């Protein structure tokens, strides 16, 4: 088991991220973080039959209530967050209740937001069961739900007591979900660590085969990068980058997800396309060399990720939903772009003509936007 400590800031306590195989067989990992005698286990209809009994078995004499949400990004809503609040209230749960989020990013975000709101803050434990959640969504304290106007528009920064990433749960994923998670792993190499990116290029087949050592290293390295970024900028307040750099490709991705009602693409698939669009715009601005763009395109292809938006996306849809991005300041959209592999920058001074050229290229039938 690897343990990474997240230190979000001077006002927020540190907490551990445990990474390893078989952690859901070890009560000593979870029990110290459930100290009120009552737990609300939040999962979904896909994950609960696989792992909920294992988690209950770790909790001994603790009273455990359950809420199982529908599976899918389209269910990341205020209504489902309210279901959790209703269950907490109906069972007369106190503030010392621990909300345990067992599932992927949707479960973690919705349950985490409910924990943040219930009695102004109940305890929270994240047990992510997808690669995307283990390397990104469950770590760092972002919680929330989607709105018709845009993704993640309603939420709170709320840190868990711990994160338990049992790599054995990844064997339950279908291959599409695994590939989607790899988009977020690749992101860390692109924004912070060229050496890690090179390692991913060499080890992509091992990751796709779910070799335990390769998966553990990818998760550990991703979490270490996330920990460093969150420690420096917990609530995305740094104007010139900081935590916002974690959103490489996400402005384009969130626009696709919202415009298409969160049904056409998995989040990681949208991030992959958005990252290629960010690379294309970076090249048009003279920041990113053609060789680096080719490497990004190649690794996304080897990971089996899509290279272009769904046909329903238009330039107008992109622009309408991109304007709602949370990185915007003073009405000006900011984009995370690449200077080189391993170095990203938040840019408000991007070339508007270049942005429109990228949007046109990726919505005009070009398989990879003319990159």
- List active site positions: 120, 142, 184, 226, 236, 243, 247, 250, 254, 267
Q: Measured between alpha carbons, how far is residue 159 from residues 124, 131, 162, 242, 304 in Å?
A: 8, 19, 8, 18, 33
Q: Measured between alpha carbons, how far is residue 95 from residues 41, 108, 134 in Å?
A: 15, 19, 26
Radius of gyration of the chain (CA): 20
Integer Cα distance of 182 and 97 in angstroms: 34
Buried b (16+ CB within 10 A) or exposed e, 232-245: ebbbbeeeebbbbb
Q: Is 136 left (phi over 0), alpha (psi -120 to 50) or beta?
A: alpha
Integer Cα distance of 29 and 202 in angstroms: 33
Q: Measured between alpha carbons, how far is residue 67 from residues 36, 52, 111, 200 in Å?
A: 19, 11, 10, 37
Phi, psi for residue 95 in degrees, rounded to 5 = -70, -15
Integer Cα distance of 10 and 21 in angstroms: 32
SS3 for 56? helix
| DSSP bridge pairs for 6 | 15
Integer Cα distance of 340 and 311 in angstroms: 29
- CA 114, chain centre distance (Å): 18
Q: Residues near 110 by Cβ (< 8 Å), separated by ≥ 6?
A: 42, 69, 76, 77, 80, 81, 84, 143, 145
Given a contact cutoff of 8 angstroms between Cβ atoms, the answer to whether 257 and 270 are in contact is yes
């Amino acid at each position: 088991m690897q343990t990474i400590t997240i230190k979000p800031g001077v006002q927020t306590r540190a907490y551990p991220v445990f990474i390893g195989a078989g952690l859901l067989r070890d009560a000593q990992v979870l029990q110290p973080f459930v100290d009120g005698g009552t737990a609300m286990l939040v999962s979904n209809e896909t994950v609960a039959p696989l792992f909920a009994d294992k988690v209950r078995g770790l909790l001994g004499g603790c009273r455990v209530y359950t809420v199982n949400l529908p599976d899918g990004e389209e269910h990341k809503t205020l209504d489902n967050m309210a279901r959790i609040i209703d269950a907490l209230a109906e069972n007369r749960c106190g503030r010392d209740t621990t909300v345990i989020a067992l599932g992927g990013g949707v479960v973690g975000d919705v349950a985490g937001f409910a924990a943040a709101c219930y009695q102004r803050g109940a305890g929270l434990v994240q047990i992510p069961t997808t690669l995307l959640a283990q390397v990104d969504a469950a770590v760092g304290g972002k919680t929330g739900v989607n709105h018709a106007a845009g993704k993640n528009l309603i939420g709170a920064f709320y840190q868990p007591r711990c994160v338990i990433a049992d790599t054995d749960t990844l064997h339950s994923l279908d291959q599409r979900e695994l590939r989607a998670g790899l988009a977020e792993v690749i992101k860390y190499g692109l924004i912070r660590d060229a050496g890690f990116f090179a390692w991913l290029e060499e080890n992509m087949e091992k990751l796709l085969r779910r070799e335990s050592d390769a998966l553990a290293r990818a998760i550990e390295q991703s979490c270490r990068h996330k920990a460093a970024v969150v420690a420096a900028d917990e609530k995305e307040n740094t104007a010139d980058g900081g935590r916002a750099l974690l959103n490489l490709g996400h402005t384009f991705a969130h626009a696709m997800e919202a415009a298409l009602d969160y049904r056409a693409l998995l989040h990681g698939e949208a991030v992959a396309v958005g990252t290629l669009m960010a690379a294309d715009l970076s090249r048009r601005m003279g920041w990113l060399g053609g060789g680096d763009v080719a490497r990004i395109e190649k690794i996304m292809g080897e990971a089996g990720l899509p290279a272009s938006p769904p046909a329903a996306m238009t330039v107008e849809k992109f622009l309408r939903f991109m304007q709602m991005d949370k990185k915007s300041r003073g009405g000006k959209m900011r984009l995370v772009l690449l200077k080189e592999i391993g170095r990203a920058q938040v840019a408000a001074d991007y070339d508007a003509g270049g942005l429109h050229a990228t949007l046109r290229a990726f919505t005009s039938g070009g398989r990879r936007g003319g990159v």
